[in-house]
Amino acid sequence: MAFPVIGMVGGGQLARMTHEAGIPLGIRFRLLSDTPQDSAAQVVNDVVVGDYRDLDTLRAFARGCDVITFDHEHVPTEHLRALEAEGVKVRPGPDALVHAQDKGVMRARLTEIGVPCPRHRIVADPADVARFAAEGAAGEGDAPGGDGWPVVLKTVRGGYDGKGVWVVRSAAEAAEPFRAGVPVLAEEKVDFVRELAANVVRSPHGQAVAYPVVESVQVDGVCDTVIAPAPDLPGELSGQAQRLALTVARELDVTGHLAVELFQTRDGRILVNELAMRPHNSGHWTQDGAVTSQFANHLRAVLDLPLGDPRPRAPWTVMVNVLGGDYPDMYQGYPHCMARDPQLKIHMYGKDVKPGRKVGHVNTYGDDLADVRERAAHAAAYLRGTITE
């Protein structure tokens, strides 16, 4: 029997968990990984070690694959267009993926299709940042007025987990982002009450499913906790967020999983913060908390199979990331965590433990949100070694 071969570019934990979701379906994986030690390279049989920034490497990797998809958004757009021109199925395609690669392109396109975003524009230098702040002080667009500061600056490409992002309070603080020599996007600093994420999956023939909108709790720019569904979110806003994400997926012609990260503002609006066109940290809860996980539905989408049910299995599911600390032997924490909570699900990525590095996550679920949150937080902290009882 001939089962399809999926070529996954990138060897991180997202590739590892996507591969896991494909095993029951008999789907074969080919992995383009930076090193043999990468998270997914430890578990995938067919691994090519190479540079995803090299077109010839990508061409050689694509031979024998039925479709190419991604663990990250960093493959050069022009290389993906070259592969498509040569008949390679790339999902999501480069014309969609560029909106997750380039924040300037994303903001321009979302504004064009009427998706609500923070006030923004590309800025040339620190003096231009000061002019942008002054425009905010004048109350242009959705800006709150005041003196227009602080301003959020982002390099248009390459940032993640708080990297490539600066919050500046004067032109004097605005010099650093321009040193990289890439375009810089300025945005108003949104007055928000919390961050949300709307996760959807879309197939090439246009079928789409939407997961419950979740709350994403960030610590130092890194996702710490995800609560599904977002507590106390009015039904009107939840539906608006799901419709918005489905609209973005359709208008940008996304194939696969799309995470739309959102701000819920103090005045009751939702604004788009970022896009990710791959499985995403805000969707890890679906491994144990949804009928069909984000990873399984991403595979179904890139293969143009019918999509699976996105509904939750329990009233509440909470995911907490396990970050590396000063306690490297996390396996020694398993007996305590498993005995304390037999329903706990632990997902480790096979990474060396380094302070602040995402090395795994835990999922808990149940009927009582306070109990579910406590169980997840306790397990993650115990594995990290920040608590010992």
Is 190 labelled as part of a ligand binding site? yes
Over residues 34-86, the pLDDT tens digits come to 999 999 999 999 999 999 999 999 999 999 899 999 999 999 999 999 999 99
Give the mean model confidence (pLDDT) for residues 265-292.
97
> Which tokens go with 379?
């397990």
Q: How confident is the model at residue 221 (pLDDT cuts 50, 70, 90)?
A: confident
Is 374 labelled as part of a ligand binding site? no
Cα 27 to Cα 140: distance, rounded to the nearest angstrom: 52
Mean pLDDT of the chain: 95
Residue 144 scores a pLDDT above 90: no
Is 154 labelled as part of a ligand binding site? yes
* pLDDT, position 141: 47
Residue 6 scores a pLDDT above 50: yes
Q: How confident is the model at residue 119 (pLDDT cuts 50, 70, 90)?
A: very high
Cα 152 to Cα 158: distance, rounded to the nearest angstrom: 16
Contact 125, 131 (CB under 8 A): no
Contact 21, 4 (CB under 8 A): no
Residue 159 scores a pLDDT above 80: no
Full-model pTM: 0.95
CA 75 to each of CA 53, 175, 242, 257, 296: distance values in angstroms, whole numbers, following the listed order = 6, 28, 28, 17, 23
* pLDDT, position 139: 66
Is 236 labelled as part of a ligand binding site? no
Over residues 78-96, the pLDDT tens digits come to 999 999 999 999 999 999 9
Contacts of residue 102, defined as CB under 8 A and 6 or more positions apart, other chains included, come to: 77, 156, 157
Q: What domains does the chain contain, in order, with CATH numbers?
A: 5-90 (3.40.50.20), 119-188 (3.30.1490.20), 192-384 (3.30.470.20)
* pLDDT, position 1: 57
Residue 229: asked if its preceding bond is cis (omega within 30°), the reply is: yes
Over residues 350-381, the pLDDT tens digits come to 999 998 899 999 999 999 999 999 999 999 99
Residue 140 scores a pLDDT above 60: no
Is 112 labelled as part of a ligand binding site? no
Name the strands in the sheet holding 184-188, side by side, starting at the edge strand that comes first in the sequence: 120-123, 184-188, 151-155, 165-168
Residue 281 scores a pLDDT above 50: yes
Is 274 labelled as part of a ligand binding site? yes
> Which tokens go with 170?
């004067």
Cα 142 to Cα 190: distance, rounded to the nearest angstrom: 10
Q: How confident is the model at residue 161 (pLDDT cuts 50, 70, 90)?
A: low
Q: How confident is the model at residue 142 (pLDDT cuts 50, 70, 90)?
A: very low
What are the helix (H) ranges across 232-341?
A: 235-251, 286-289, 294-302, 334-340
Q: How confident is the model at residue 137 (pLDDT cuts 50, 70, 90)?
A: confident
Is 86 labelled as part of a ligand binding site? no
Residue 143 scores a pLDDT above 60: no
DSSP letters, 160-216, are -TTTTEEEESSGGGGSGGGGG-S-EEEEE---EEEEEEEEEEE-TTS-EEEPPPEEE
Over residues 319-339, the pLDDT tens digits come to 999 999 878 889 999 999 999
* pLDDT, position 9: 98
